[in-house]
Amino acid sequence: VTAASRVVSASSDGTARIWNPETGDCLQTLGTVGWENRARYQHGALKVGRRVTSAAFSPDGKLVLSSSADCTAKIWSVQSGELIHTLVGHQHCLRSAVFSPDGRLAVTTSHDSTPKIWDVESGECRHTLQGHNSEVNSAVFSPDGGKVLTASADKTARIFCVRSGKCLQILKGHRWDVLSAIFSPDGALALTTSEDRTA
């Protein structure tokens, strides 16, 4: 995921890193005590508990949201390196975490089958989205931020209302796990991909 002239990556080796995409240099690393510059920590390994499953910049580039196999997500200040919030509530390792278009909310997905919507400022869970009965592989906000679209190993995708947390629609048709789902730019359509080799 990019923010201006930076790239943030997450890896199954337990690290995440911020890079300069033009030079390939690792610019910063993130650990339990915050950011360290490349001179101090040469290899740029970003340790966040166990395997880091995703990392994303906020829309304004001021925050980073990371998810981990340690069942938590973390919100970090890019400028200071301060750990702002640890989002605790999932019962199994996280699959993904993304910001809403306005950066005020975040949605996380997990092997525990319950996506969660979080308030970025307070770090509190707004809603636990009920309905899936298997791991949830991904979730995204609609372009207007009013809905969340989830993709699950239960062979369905679901659309939830961000304000109420209620399921608005269940998208069925795949024979195997739904791996990812996204909205069209105008939010009117949804596209899903699946292990059944169809979209």
Strands (E), the chain: 2-3, 6-10, 16-19, 26-31, 34-37, 52-57, 63-68, 72-77, 83-88, 94-99, 105-110, 116-119, 125-128, 136-141, 147-152, 157-161, 167-171, 178-183, 190-194
Q: Which residues of the chain have pLDDT under 50?
A: 32-49
* Rounded Cα gap, residues 187 and 199, in angstroms: 17
Tell me which residue of 155, 61, 145, 132 sits closest to 101, measured CA to CA.
145
Q: How many Å apart are CA 49 and CA 143, to the nearest integer?
A: 32
Instruction: State the amino acid at position 114 in one-letter form.
Output: T
Q: Kindly state the percentage of the chain with pLDDT values over 70.
A: 85
Q: Which residues pair with 156 in a beta bridge?
A: none
In sequence order, the 6+-apart residues with CB closer than 8 A to the CB of 194 are: 155, 174, 175, 176, 177, 178, 179
Tokens coding 26 = 């690792």
User: Are 34 and 75 spatial neighbours (Cβ–Cβ below 8 Å)?
Assistant: no
What is the per-residue pLDDT for 79? 73
pTM score, two decimals? 0.86
Query: CA-CA distance, 153 to 55, in Å (whole number)?
Result: 22
Give the per-residue pLDDT at 38.
35
pLDDT for position 13: 65
Instruction: Give 114-125 pLDDT, tens digit per residue.
Output: 999 999 999 999
Tokens of 114: 């319950």
Mind giving me the DSSP string for 6-26? EEEEE-TTSBEEEE-TTT--E
pLDDT score for 31: 53
Q: Whole-number mean pLDDT of the chain?
A: 87
